[in-house]
Amino acid sequence: MKNSKKIDQLAVDNLKINALAAISKAQSGHSSITISAAKIFHALFFYNYHFDIKNPNWVARDRFVLSASQASALYYAMLRFCGLLSREQLEKFAQIDSDCKGSAVKSNTLGIDLTTAPLGQGIAMGVGLAISEAYLENKFPEASHYTYVLCSWADLQEGVAQEALAYAAENRLNKLIILFDSNGSDNSAFLKSKYSVDLKAKYTALNFNFVTIKDASARSISKAIKHAKHSNLPTIIEIKTAFGENIIKEDIGSLNGKYLEEAEIEELKDKTSFQKTDFFEIYSQVETAYKQRMQELHEKASRWTASDELLNFLNDEVKENINDIGISEHDNLYENAIVLINNLADKYNNILLASTNISSFNKIKSANGVFASNNRNGRALLLGLREFAMASITNGLASHSNIRPIVFCALTFSNYMLPAIRMSAIMKNKVLYVLTHDSVLAYDKGPSMQAIEQLAQLRSIPNLEILRPCDDNELRGAFEYYFNNAEGPVVISISEDIVKRFNETSKHPIKEGAYYLLENASPWTLISTGRDIEDLYDIANELNISLISASNIKNLNKLDFDYNRAISYESLTTFGWSKFAKYNLGVDSYVTGGNSKDVAKLLGIDKTSLKNKISKIIENNK
């Protein structure tokens, strides 16, 4: 791997001009990071990144997360250097029919593991990849690799990044290497701050290996990366780059979020070693150097072999008849879900559990205990009160090889995780979110802890399947659905209340999402879900009307019932229910705290009040 300094500079300038040209042609993109980070891409992909362009999904390849989403043109320009994209594809950057998107998008053919998320999340998803690696490498040394994240100032300001970095350092994820483009451009806020933070002191205190490169060049960056590989702590390499280097714009601050006009690129070009008239061309020296490097890497990768154990792990599909896994006779769904999860984790090495408070997992030994620097085999990730990072890290886990993560958390806190749950849905990551305390009656602490609108908010997310089982049978069905049928993220929403068992339920219909639990003669139909079925079951029988258990409400349209004579009820908001039933009972306001019986009465959702309301609706609409 020989390369003169001259070719390094040429490659960096070439990459920069190509990417600026793509942005300029699309009239969309960010010039500042495109100028500053070109040398980082060359340092990483030419000198350090191990992968095989002939096998982009090679399990032992290095991983790269573009957390600084503004740099997507550079990333795609680099993938073209590597031979994975054509000039024509790059020229269509940010267009609807292009492979080069305005934000980098998950792609099996390009070896892009993760769709670029709103700022901060890329760092957390990178931590997720690094956890996966640490877990796998301990079992299968041949799966060892590094995880690189490119981030900006703005990424590091986000709380989700701070949560994830704290976890990464606590658990000594030493093969995580963060490349921090410290050009100070990405957020004007920071520039204004009078009292700058001593980053080295801060991240050293957090147990990071923190390195700063001033007057960065591709060579110095590459050297720092090579050092970082030997660190026994995770590394942050702060790369001080010149903001808008060689740019003569008056308002240089406006470079972020802006493209350069052709004439401006021309001006910039004159100050670089790139001298071609066609901004999209690649110098043959550069092309040859990259080809050679890709060939070397391919040959290296071809000599790699996987153990049978690793192959088994990678092919191990969790297709499960949940009856076999057993479920104990606890008297509530919460306890039973924990038993199920523990049993599943016991059986499948690719299930990793994530929780803010591990006391929920009462048998964590089955998952080999808590994941830690001295227990890489542990599959219980104990995140602390860092819900957002937990969900975002989980997206990283789910994007690595064959890992199936399960998140366990109170429904109220889905608000904290929402931006990451959204990314699960966008990427169709197979993540299971088990969300508990799913009722306004679950806590006595008042509105700040009440679940009211959260389930509706989740139901509004495309690609996200939500199941709210009403008893153990449906709970089993929900888990089977996730493991055997789901092709993206799934939420199982459960109650911690004591829940009845119904003879009429079975685990099977829940996969269809909605079915008649009771069929009675009346033209009226009650529709409910989860813990709230219990109350309506008795009412339906008493009033001799039918009851649909609609664990997945999206599937209600598969059933035949009279919309104008349908009454829905959940001990949650009615928001979104009008689509399925003309009459909607629920809770559309915040209430004061108190024990659940008092609160139910106050809200008019105790069984007596509900029966009265339902009778009245039927009476008034005969």
Stretch that binds a copy of itself, among 193-201, 234-242, 300-308, 319-327 (CB under 8 A): 193-201
- Single residue of 206, 543, 559, 618 touching a copy of itself by CB under 8 A: 206
**What sign does the dihedral 238-239-242-243 (CA atoms) show?**
negative
Closest approach of a copy of itself to the CB of residue 584, in Å? 8
Amino acid at 491: V
Closest approach of a copy of itself to the CB of residue 428, in Å? 9
Closest approach of a copy of itself to the CB of residue 4, in Å? 37
Stretch that binds a copy of itself, among 53-61, 117-125, 262-270, 291-299 (CB under 8 A): 117-125
Q: Does 394 bind a copy of itself (CB under 8 A)?
A: no
Q: Does 28 bind a copy of itself (CB under 8 A)?
A: yes
- Single residue of 325, 389, 411, 566 touching a copy of itself by CB under 8 A: 389
Q: Does 39 bind a copy of itself (CB under 8 A)?
A: no
Q: Does 335 bind a copy of itself (CB under 8 A)?
A: no
Choose among 611, 568, 570, 610: nearest CA to 587: 570
Q: Closer CB to a copy of itself, residue 320 or residue 465?
A: 465
Q: Does 105 bind a copy of itself (CB under 8 A)?
A: yes
Closest approach of a copy of itself to the CB of residue 112, in Å? 13
Stretch that binds a copy of itself, among 9-17, 395-403, 522-530, 589-597 (CB under 8 A): 589-597
Q: Closer CB to a copy of itself, residue 29 or residue 469?
A: 29
| β-strand pairing of 380-382 with 176-181 | unpaired
How many residues touch a copy of itself under the rule CB under 8 A: the total is 109
Distances in Å between the Cα of 347 and the Cα atoms of 317, 338, 341, 343 are: 12, 14, 10, 6
- Single residue of 50, 58, 107, 118 touching a copy of itself by CB under 8 A: 118
Stretch that binds a copy of itself, among 14-22, 185-193, 468-476, 613-621 (CB under 8 A): 185-193
Q: Does 409 bind a copy of itself (CB under 8 A)?
A: no
Tokens 């079915």 sit on residue = 515
3-class state of residue 128 by DSSP: helix
- Single residue of 193, 315, 503, 620 touching a copy of itself by CB under 8 A: 193
Contact 124, 158 (CB under 8 A): no
Q: Does 419 bind a copy of itself (CB under 8 A)?
A: yes
Instruction: Copy the structure tokens of residue 395.
Output: 């997206």
Number of helices (H), then strands (E), belonging to the chain: the values are: 24, 16
Q: Does 311 bind a copy of itself (CB under 8 A)?
A: no
Euclidean distance between CA atoms 471 and 30, whole angstroms: 52
- Single residue of 58, 107, 138, 190 touching a copy of itself by CB under 8 A: 190
3-class state of residue 586 by DSSP: coil
| β-strand pairing of 546-549 with 525-528 | parallel
Closest approach of a copy of itself to the CB of residue 588, in Å? 6
Distances in Å between the Cα of 251 and the Cα atoms of 29, 42, 247, 258 are: 17, 28, 10, 11
- Single residue of 205, 248, 252, 311 touching a copy of itself by CB under 8 A: 205
Stretch that binds a copy of itself, among 165-173, 508-516, 517-525, 604-612 (CB under 8 A): 165-173
Q: Does 562 bind a copy of itself (CB under 8 A)?
A: no
Q: Closer CB to a copy of itself, residue 426 or residue 434?
A: 426
Closest approach of a copy of itself to the CB of residue 10, in Å? 30
Q: Does 590 bind a copy of itself (CB under 8 A)?
A: yes
- The DSSP H or E segment spanning 584 is strand 583-585
Q: Does 415 bind a copy of itself (CB under 8 A)?
A: yes
Contact 179, 212 (CB under 8 A): no
Query: Per-residue DSSP letters for 340-372?
Result: HHHHHHHH-TTEEEEES-GGG-TTGGGGTSB-B
Q: Closer CB to a copy of itself, residue 295 or residue 460?
A: 460
Contact 30, 257 (CB under 8 A): yes
Q: Restricting to residues 61-100, name those near a copy of itself by CB under 8 A.
A: 69, 94-98
Contact 539, 503 (CB under 8 A): no
Q: Restricting to residues 447-506, name those near a copy of itself by CB under 8 A.
A: 447-449, 452-453, 456-457, 459-463
What burial letters (b/e) apply to 484-499, b meaning 16+ CB within 10 Å?
A: eebebbbbbbbbbbeb
Q: Closer CB to a copy of itself, residue 308 or residue 487?
A: 487
Q: Does 184 bind a copy of itself (CB under 8 A)?
A: no
Max intra-chain CA distance, the chain:
87
What are residue 567's phi and psi, to 5 degrees?
Answer: -125, 120
**CA neighbours closer than 13 Å in the CB half-sphere of residue 270:** 7
Instruction: Copy the structure tokens of residue 551.
Output: 């664990």
Q: Does 303 bind a copy of itself (CB under 8 A)?
A: no
Q: Restricting to residues 238-267, name those near a copy of itself by CB under 8 A.
A: 253-254
Q: Closer CB to a copy of itself, residue 220 or residue 463?
A: 463
Euclidean distance between CA atoms 26 and 20, whole angstroms: 10
Contact 580, 540 (CB under 8 A): no
The 521-560 site mask, x for binding a copy of itself (CB under 8 A), equals ----------------------------------------
What are residue 333's phi and psi, to 5 degrees?
Answer: -65, -35
- Single residue of 412, 424, 473, 568 touching a copy of itself by CB under 8 A: 412
Contact 498, 481 (CB under 8 A): no
Q: Closer CB to a copy of itself, residue 295 or residue 592?
A: 592
**Beta sheet of 432-436, edge-to-edge order:** 380-382, 351-355, 404-410, 432-436, 490-493, 465-467
Closest approach of a copy of itself to the CB of residue 57, in Å? 21
**Beta sheet of 235-239, edge-to-edge order:** 63-66, 147-152, 176-181, 235-239, 209-213
